């Protein structure tokens, strides 16, 4: 039987463990292999009862009630529940008025679905580099990419940190184009008192089972600022005979999960602060930057390496990152790369077959570029020098587990000699030189 309880409790860490040999060199791991598994989402009796009771209701009412409740939570004006995050982004673009052949500016660093949704709307994605601190769309890069055929900016609140919406909003208004959020990582993220999903003209958001706010399987939701945008998306579905409807099972599960979302948010924020304090003390590692007035949702937690702080700046930063990655994993910390190459260098945007015969790229050949990874130097630098924790700060991650993650970073940072030796003995390639990965 699958249970939300771990096999055994992790003991609270001790200072003495930090001085023990690294696990990769024969010492004991801070988190033993038998105790490394974490489970998400949490499934409670309320979730099960809600699913059972929902069987007595009209399926469409279950979905619409969920969509209304979550729309109110976000503070959006209109909502359209969908079957997936990608379909929600597609509908957000359609609702915002994107037409075949239009250009939509997207960041080169995101999940591939951001750009695929643009193609689904029969438009052409135009890729720009990211901000070197937040890793979200760089407003200056976006400004340089605007042409007379640009219809929308599509920033991604990557990892759960809202993009620079004030700057992008001003840019969009100056050029008379739409601002469409990809809020798929950003459940409960905010700028001031406004929640991601309610910041632009439209937004799409994934609600799949590995997100901070999970539905039962796949799901998504599109938000719109005006009734005209909402009606445009609904009419599009009807006219084309597309079934993007959300499952009532997913909605019923989401309805009870929504009640616990504020609790999950507080646990993640606590664990992120705990880990951030530890990272700041190592010198070698830095936590995510959060601009003033922004609330990070921590769907992912991207950690930046500072080799110069450990006397390792004579080594290639990507090799230091790889060596550190191996040492952390041996200690039981599930650090990883998330993405390893800019999205425009993935096969669908290199071959540009689209729907066949190059459509919709053929509608606007002037917007098409044959990109190389080097076209996005900030993205490459970020991929070279950062690692990610994905689910490891969420509830039900135990407090003692979060403490042990923090201690693993401290333990590795104390051993620049081991990092150097590993780099000098290894043959590490830059991330984009490997096979492109979706995640």
8 A C-beta contact, residue 157 and residue 136: yes
Last residue of a domain, one of 255, 289, 320: 255
Q: Are residues 167 and 31 part of one domain? A: no
Is residue 146 domain-shared with residue 87, that is, in the same domain? Answer: yes
> Is 212 in contact with 390 (CB distance < 8 Å)?
no
In a domain, 396, yes or no: yes
Are both 238 and 91 inside the same structural domain?
yes
CATH no. for residue 332? 3.90.1150.10
Q: Which pTM does this prediction carry?
A: 0.96
* Residues 120 and 157 both lie in one domain: yes
| 120, part of any domain | yes
Domain shared by 198 and 317, yes or no: no
| 83 plus 151 within the same structural domain | yes
pLDDT value, residue 37: 85
Task: Please check whether residue 363 is in contact with residue 124, taking contact to mean a CB–CB distance below 8 angstroms.
Answer: yes
pLDDT of residue 1: 44
Helix (H) or strand (E) holding 303: strand 301-305
Residue 353 belongs to a domain:
no
Of 5-14, 72-81, 176-185, 414-423, the one with minimum mean pLDDT is 5-14
Boundary (domain end) residue, out of 236, 255, 274? 255
Residues of the domain holding 76 = 45-255
pLDDT tens figures, 177-207: 999 999 999 999 999 999 999 999 999 999 9
Q: Are residues 247 and 274 in the same domain?
A: no
Q: How many separate helices (H) and strands (E) can be counted in the chain?
A: 14, 13
Q: What is the pLDDT of residue 354?
A: 95
Condensed to tens digits (0 to 9), the pLDDT of residues 348-374 reads: 999 999 999 999 999 999 999 999 999
What integer pLDDT is reported at residue 3 of this predicted model?
A: 61
The total domain count for the chain is 2
Give the span between the Cα atoms of 82 and 64, in whole angstroms: 11
Same domain, 265 and 406: yes
Domain identity same for 329 and 197:
no
Q: Compute the average pLDDT of residues 270-289.
A: 97
For residue 167, give the CATH number of its domain. 3.40.640.10
Chain segment 138-183, per-residue pLDDT in tens? 999 999 999 999 999 999 999 999 999 999 999 999 999 999 999 9
Same domain membership, residue 194 and residue 49: yes
In a domain, 302, yes or no: yes
Percent of the chain with pLDDT over 90: 91
DSSP letter string over 341-391?
A: S-GGGSHHHHH--TTTTTTTGGG-GGG-----GGG-HHHHHHHHHEEEESS
Residue 388 falls inside a structural domain: yes
pLDDT at position 2, please? 58
Q: What DSSP state is assigned to residue 240? A: H
> Are 27 and 174 in a shared domain?
no
Are 312 and 203 members of one domain? no
Domain stops at, among 228, 255, 282: 255
Going by their DSSP bridges, the two strands 78-82 and 220-224 should be labelled as: antiparallel
Q: What share of the chain is helix, strand, coil (3-state, %, to 5)?
A: 45, 15, 45
């Amino acid at each position: 039987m699958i249970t939300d309880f771990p096999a055994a409790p992790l003991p609270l860490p001790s200072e003495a463990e930090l001085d023990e040999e690294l696990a990769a060199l024969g010492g004991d791991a801070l988190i033993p292999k038998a105790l490394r598994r974490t489970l998400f989402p949490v499934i409670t009796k309320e979730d099960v009862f809600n699913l059972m009771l929902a069987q007595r209701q009209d399926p469409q009412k279950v979905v619409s009630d969920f969509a209304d409740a979550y729309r109110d939570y976000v503070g959006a004006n209109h909502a359209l529940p969908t079957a997936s995050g990608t379909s929600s982004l597609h509908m957000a673009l359609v609702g915002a008025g994107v037409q075949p052949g239009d250009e939509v500016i997207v960041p080169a660093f995101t999940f591939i679905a951001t750009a695929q949704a643009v193609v689904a709307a029969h438009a052409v994605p135009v890729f720009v580099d990211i901000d070197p601190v937040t890793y979200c769309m760089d407003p200056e890069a976006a400004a340089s990419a605007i042409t007379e055929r640009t219809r929308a900016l599509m920033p991604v609140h990557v990892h759960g940190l809202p993009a620079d919406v004030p700057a992008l909003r001003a840019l969009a208004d100056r050029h008379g184009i739409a601002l469409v959020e990809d809020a798929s990582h950003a459940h409960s993220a905010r700028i001031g008192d406004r929640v991601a999903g309610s910041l632009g003209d439209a937004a799409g958001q994934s609600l799949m089972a590995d997100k901070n706010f999970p539905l039962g399987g796949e799901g998504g939701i599109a938000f719109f600022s005006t009734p005209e945008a909402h009606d445009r998306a609904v009419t599009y579905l009807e006219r084309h005979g597309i079934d993007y409807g959300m499952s009532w099972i997913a909605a019923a599960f989401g309805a009870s999960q929504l009640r616990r979302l504020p609790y999950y948010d507080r646990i993640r924020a606590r664990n992120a602060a705990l880990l951030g304090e530890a990272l700041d003390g190592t010198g070698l590692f830095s936590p995510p930057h959060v601009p003033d007035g922004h609330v990070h949702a921590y769907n992912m937690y991207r950690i930046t390496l500072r080799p110069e702080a450990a006397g390792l700046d004579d080594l290639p930063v990507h090799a230091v990152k790889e060596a550190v990655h191996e040492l952390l994993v041996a200690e039981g910390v599930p650090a990883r790369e998330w993405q390893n190459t800019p999205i425009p260098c993935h096969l669908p945007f290199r071959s540009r077959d689209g729907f066949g015969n190059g459509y919709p790229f053929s509608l606007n050949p002037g917007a098409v570029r044959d990109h190389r990874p080097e076209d996005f130097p900030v993205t490459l630098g970020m991929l070279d020098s950062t690692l990610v924790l994905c689910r490891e700060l969420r509830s039900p991650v135990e407090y003692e587990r979060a403490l042990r993650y923090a201690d693993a970073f401290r333990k590795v940072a104390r051993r620049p000699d081991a990092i150097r030796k590993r780099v000098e003995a290894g043959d590490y390639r830059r991330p984009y030189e490997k096979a492109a990965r979706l995640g």
